[in-house]
Amino acid sequence: MSDYVITDENIDAVVRYLEIFHPENATREFALFMLESTKSAIHKIAIDNPDGLAELYEQVMSSQKRRDRLDPQEQ
């Protein structure tokens, strides 16, 4: 986790998401804040509540399976 470096590409992707769903916060600064907060939150879960990390993993996998069913070409 500590090897993860937030890139301009990551920030741009979050800005695109924000433009669609939360246009009032669609700035590079807010996108960076979201990425840093998420990184910190996942680290905290891993340290304080490893079972929470397992639950997060299951949610991600469930989401991935739904996406695969909707568009099997996108993998």
Residue 15 placed within a domain: yes
* 58 pLDDT above the threshold of 50: yes
Residue 75 placed within a domain: no
Residue 2 placed within a domain: no
Q: How far apart are the C-alpha atoms of 65 and 60, rounded to whole Å?
A: 9
Q: Domains in the chain: how many in total?
A: 1
15, amino acid identity: V
Q: How far apart are the C-alpha atoms of 65 and 37, rounded to whole Å?
A: 26
State residue 44's pLDDT score. 86
Residue 35 placed within a domain: yes
Q: Per-residue confidence at 1, pLDDT binned at 50, 70, 90? A: very low
Residue 21 placed within a domain: yes
Domain span at 41: 8-70
State residue 75's pLDDT score. 47
Average pLDDT over residues 13-40: 94
Burial class (CB in 10 A: 0-12, 13-18, 19+), 31: buried
pTM (2 d.p.): 0.64
Average pLDDT over residues 59-67: 80
Residue 1 placed within a domain: no
Q: Which helix (H) or strand (E) holds 60?
A: helix 50-70
- pLDDT-above-90 percentage for the chain: 43
